[in-house]
Amino acid sequence: MNGRETPSKRFVIRGGRVIDPARNFDRTEDIGVDGDRISAASESDAAPAAGEIDARGLIVCPGLIDMHVHLREPGAEHKETIETGTGAAVAGGFTAVACMPNTKPAIDNIATLQHVIERARQIGVCRVHPIGAITVNRQGTEVVDMTALKQHGAVAFSDDGDGVENDSVMREAFARARERDAAIIQHCEYKAISAGGVMHKGRVSDALGLPGLDPRSEEDMIERDIALVRETGARYHVAHISTARAVELVRRAKADGLPVTTEVCPHHLLLTDDACSEQDPNTKMHPPLRTAEDVAACRRGFLDGTIDCIATDHAPHTAEEKARGFLKAPPGIVGLETALALTCEALSEDGSIDWCGLIRSMTVAPASVLGVTTPSLTPTAPADITLIDPRKSWRIAPETFHGKTRNTPFGGRDVVGRAVATIVGGRLRHQLADEAHRFERLSPIN
Ligand SMILES: [Zn+2]
């Protein structure tokens, strides 16, 4: 991106463990960058004054993609902007994000869509793929003009924040999305079932005397949607899956050969509703933190391939908004700067991680759902690259976040694994300050 503004530059990322899921590649190799593209390392090497990044001990992989982010612009710039949100993204190792359309106005029209695309292009920190709304103003009654929105750059459709409850509206949405080969990303929740709930309905909500969100509100909508997928053949993606039965429904749909995919958030792989015991508003989110059984089912679902993608549901809210108390605070937590480490923690078994599987779920898998270019480190591919130190120990310090807000229940947690550098279109957009020695031989080109 913005590659034409400056002369072409070359550098080599040397000595890293290259993991490139698109070609099942996992071994030590040098990667060349020439301008905004990947090149053969030998070619970049030969160029005079080529720079160099020392990647020894690091994983070098295609740039991570977060397919579920709330950038809040336009309409709620006090929470986040495209500039701060994409800054948080590259700090977390993401070279691309897909942003949800629950902005004000909603991304249900071409003008708002173009505004988001244009702002992201001007800022140029990372790639932004806007998701269009399924229905006009996300009200669940009238399906948007998907043809026009897709032509102008919407990558998929979602009313995230709300599920589309009306059966015939949803049937029509699926039929239209099918014609345009766009995925429907559903926030699965029947409000009549979940109404008023502030946390998972169960033992902990009963003990606290708080109104609970019944897991059936999520599961019943997935069930309805899968029936409609069977009917229409549309591509269907379940957003932020959180219950054991939901995972089982997706597992069966996949076994039936239906075009169904899903994502899970790091917090649903790590925390249970017990975390809500102190009524910390930073443990309030939709879907809510569930039971230990649900967490275990989500982990199993990820490991057996039922769950395709890791996504953050990055949902910034200000300290003032979260200070309204557990009952009144808006649901949601930020995730871009913690996702990689938290996912490592959730998926490490006996201290080892299937890095190829983890990276696939944050690169190739979300790209395939969104229908964007397959991330890869093969020559001529866009030079979107993430360098990860898989052994880096650090403490999550919300006060250092690049995003505007600090709403996370993970502050103070000791974690392992961190993005050391994020390269977008051949440009270094993030580098970890205490790893500066790795970039000494990178001439001042970025
Ligand atoms: Zn949602």
pLDDT digits (tens, 9 = 90+) for 83-125: 999 999 999 999 999 999 999 999 999 999 999 999 999 999 9
Residue 289 lies in a domain: yes
Q: Return the pLDDT at 7.
A: 45
Rounded distance from Cα 331 to ligand 1 centre (Å): 10
- HSE-CB at 284 with a 13 A cutoff on CA atoms is 24
Rounded distance from Cα 414 to ligand 1 centre (Å): 27
Number of domains in the chain: 1
Rounded distance from Cα 236 to ligand 1 centre (Å): 15
Q: With a cut of 50, say whether residue 186 has pLDDT above it.
A: yes
> What pTM, to 2 d.p., does this model score?
0.96
Rounded distance from Cα 415 to ligand 1 centre (Å): 26
414 is catalytic: no
Residue 39 lies in a domain: no
Rounded distance from Cα 238 to ligand 1 centre (Å): 10
Q: With a cut of 70, say whether residue 341 has pLDDT above it.
A: yes
Residue 91 lies in a domain: yes
Ligand 1 is an ion; residues with CB less than 5 A from it: 160, 187
CATH assignment of the domain containing 292: 3.20.20.140
Residue 41 lies in a domain: no
Q: Return the pLDDT at 9.
A: 82
Q: Considering 30, 220, 313, 384, which one is annotated as catalytic?
A: 313
Residue 398 lies in a domain: no
Cα 309 from Cα 23, distance rounded (Å): 18
Q: Say how many Å lie between the first and final Cα of the chain, rounded.
A: 12
Q: Are strands 414-424 and 385-395 parallel, antiparallel or unpaired?
A: antiparallel
Percent of the chain residues topping a pLDDT of 70: 96
pLDDT digits (tens, 9 = 90+) for 20-45: 999 999 999 999 999 999 998 877 66
Residue 353 lies in a domain: yes
Residue 419 lies in a domain: no
Q: What pLDDT band is residue 381 in, cutting at 50, 70 and 90?
A: very high
Residue 351 lies in a domain: yes
Rounded distance from Cα 360 to ligand 1 centre (Å): 22
Q: Which domain holds residue 327?
A: 64-370
Rounded distance from Cα 289 to ligand 1 centre (Å): 13
